[in-house]
Amino acid sequence: MKNPEKFPETHAEEGTPMATHPVEKEKLDNLVPMPGLTDLTAMSDLTPEMAEGLLELAAKVKARPADFRTALAGRQIVLFFEKPSFRTRLTFESGIYSLGGHAMFVDQLTSRIGEREPVSDMAHNLERWVDALVLRTFAHSTVTELAKFASIPVINALSDHEHPCQALADFLTLREKFGDLKKVHLAYVGDGNNVAHSLMLGAALFGSRITVGTPKGYEPKAEVLNAALEIAKQTGAVIEVTNDPVAAVTGADAVYTDVWASMGQEAEIAERARIFNDFRVTPELMAHAGAEAVFMHCLPAHRGEEVEAAVIDAETSVVFDQAENRLHIQKAILLELLGGAARRLPVRSFHV
């Protein structure tokens, strides 16, 4: 566990008081990191109160971006990506710069994190140079191991197990469209993958109803389902899994899908196309959802495969709202983890 102790507002490099625009100082003083939140490696790092707080802050950042333009002044955030990226990289870099921070991108497409030197060694170097790490990786263990050893915040920008930034952006979008998330029924059809995992845990945290429909053998992991059901006991959420796509979407307020083969599963594309054919989101399938139902997708989408063009390009599609909200929720995550001033946790000894 990272040391949650708060330290004086200083520049990471100089140890001098952080200069803040006088008009913004009062606003930024309220940006105290959430107690107990030291990383965002998975949705399970959040409590229902933390998750709600992130949506509230994201809404404020979206409505008044100028109020936060110096919130991360002097902060250095490094992005390590093992997978190609369009939305994730640009929304993080744009968000960091718009908050006054500096983003550095490290391309790991040709070599995985930990191949050249132990992850623990990387963590102990990075915690001495920068203020936070953003990771887009294949193995979820890479994210958790860096979080274990680094004394600075680690953010999961996608792993094979979860996609928490995407799910939080999705629930921000649902709240904008429908209001009270406790009254929202989200249907997810397709592969029980990392996005499905984070959506299930998100629904549990926000007290929503989610029905996940997948082919047999492609359900979400049992450990994720059990974790979501456990959280649901506190929030009143309803978590359901079925192998019937029509049953999954019936009466839903939103119908969500993702690609059938994720990065790293290219060899399975043909087989998955056959297995998932009945789970394609078509106008006919959408007709079983609620009268005001919207369509959701984390993008990129393959028209004619997991979704028909007539659905994703319809007026009821909110895919670009979701993409926009990636920017705002990630800014909120950075603000909550780093606070409104240049706080830095003590450097961890590699002997610990």
Active site residues: 136, 163, 166, 258, 298, 326
Q: Is the dihedral of CA 201, 204, 206, 208 positive or negative?
A: positive
Query: At residue 151, what is the residue type?
Result: S
Structure tokens at 140: 């979820």
Query: At residue 252, what is the residue type?
Result: A
The upper half-sphere exposure of residue 347, i.e. CA atoms within 13 Å in the direction of its Cβ, equals 11
Angle between helices 140-149 and 119-129 (to 10 degrees): 50
Contacts (Cβ under 8 Å, ≥6 apart) of 331 = 58, 61, 68, 95, 98, 99
d(C-alpha 7, C-alpha 346), whole Å: 9
Structure tokens at 340: 């409104």
Structure tokens at 252: 């839903």
3-state secondary structure of 18: coil
300 upstream amide cis, omega within 30 of 0: yes
Give the DSSP letter of residue 25.
Answer: H
